[in-house]
A and B are shown apart, each in its own frame.
Chain A
Amino acid sequence: EPEVTQTPSHQVTQMGQEVILRCVPISNHLYFYWYRQILGQKVEFLVSFYNNEISEKSEIFDDQFSVERPDGSNFTLKIRSTKLEDSAMYFCASSSAGRSKFFGPGTRLTVL
């Protein structure tokens, strides 16, 4: 069964450093998303991406964040200058139009 994969599973970084989280969505999906979950809190929407552009972003997704689909398979989330409060589990998801969203296993980001 096809699945969404994410790398790395755990990323530790120093405050102020740039991080890139990587995702490989399900191959025939056209819609891609990033969500995050701070420990003990709700899963929060960050951004949706379709047809090589952002279709919606939340207020969390400020200028420090960017997304890219550099080739036909990868989907990345970059945080330019990490803050302590960026520590969270980051989930990538993909879907076909109007269908179930499939989530990856997540990347745990720890900012020290």
Chain B
Amino acid sequence: KQEVTQIPAALSVPEGENLVLNCSFTDSAIYNLQWFRQDPGKGLTSLLLIQSSQREQTSGRLNASLDKSSGRSTLYIAASQPGDSATYLCAVSLPGNTGKLIFGQGTTLQVKP
């Protein structure tokens, strides 16, 4: 059974710092992996999607990498800003492409001015 784990559960950094959020999954047979941002009491905003054949994706200050064989993904945030404060979720989609996503618990990030 696929399980997704995110470490750390919470992270507090000063503004301007570069940081890495970690996501691991137990079964390397995934279709793709998606990173989301969730603000308190709000919906999920898609940040990056990495297909299983890709190694990384970049969008602005965000870079996500995928190492399928080791069951890991990282989300790198460069030059963090207070507006980056949110919970970051990773989710894997399984082969068969029914679209089911399995989510991690999330990392809650606080960027202090």
In the assembled complex, the Cα of A90 lies from the Cα of B61 at a distance in Å of 30
In the assembled complex, the Cα of A89 lies from the Cα of B22 at a distance in Å of 25
Chain B's interface size range is 20 to 34
In the assembled complex, the Cα of A56 lies from the Cα of B91 at a distance in Å of 17
B98 touches A99 (CB 8 A): no
Q: Which residues of A contact B81 (CB under 8 A)?
A: none
A43 touches B91 (CB 8 A): yes
A100 touches B100 (CB 8 A): no
In the assembled complex, the Cα of A33 lies from the Cα of B101 at a distance in Å of 10
Asked whether A83 is an interface residue with its Cβ less than 8 Å from the other chain, the reply is: no
A91 touches B97 (CB 8 A): no
Q: Which residue of A lies closest to B31 (CB)?
A: A98
Q: Which residue of B lies closest to A31 (CB)?
A: B99
Interface residues of B (CB under 8 A from A): 31-32, 34, 36, 41-46, 49, 51, 89, 91, 97-106
- Counting from the closest, the 3 A-B pairs by CB-CB distance are A56-B98, A103-B44, A105-B43
Q: Can you report 22 A-B residue pairs in the complex whose CB atoms are below 8 A from each other? A: A31-B99, A33-B100, A42-B105, A43-B91, A43-B101, A43-B103, A45-B101, A45-B102, A55-B98, A55-B99, A56-B98, A58-B100, A91-B43, A95-B99, A98-B97, A99-B49, A100-B34, A101-B34, A103-B44, A103-B46, A105-B42, A106-B43
